[in-house]
Amino acid sequence: MRALCESSADAISELGQEVAYALIDCLADVDSAVSIKDVLMGQPQTFDNGELILDLVTDYRLLCRANHQEQSETTSGAIDWEKVSRVKIVGIVRS
């Protein structure tokens, strides 16, 4: 996963040009965001189990998890995504 996210050549080879370019754009948005709530691209969907899904292109999604040693939680026990500034890329899934 790291090679795909760090090398556009690897991403293009593995995923194809359209998906690779969408991945590059999405990673740039995530990198520049102060918190994950600032990410507008990819229609972010967050889940109570600490997962975040960002749409890349038709049928492809980027799967992330909150990546803090101590997670901030809401009163209901869910991840407080407003305070998440680090995510771990765990996969690119086809829907």
pTM, rounded to two decimals:
0.83
Given strand 51-57, what is the order of strands in its sheet?
45-46, 51-57, 60-66, 87-94
- With 80 as the cut, is the pLDDT of residue 40 above it? no
What is the domain-level CATH number for residue 30? 3.30.2310
Look up the domain containing 36 and give its range: 2-94
Mean pLDDT of 24-52: 83
pLDDT at 48: 66
Number of domains within the chain: 1
Nearest 5°: phi and psi at 53? -120, 130
pLDDT at 69: 67
What token pair was written down for 24?
A: 């590059």
Calculate helix-pair angle for 17-32, 8-15, nearest 10 degrees. Answer: 140
- With 70 as the cut, is the pLDDT of residue 25 above it? yes
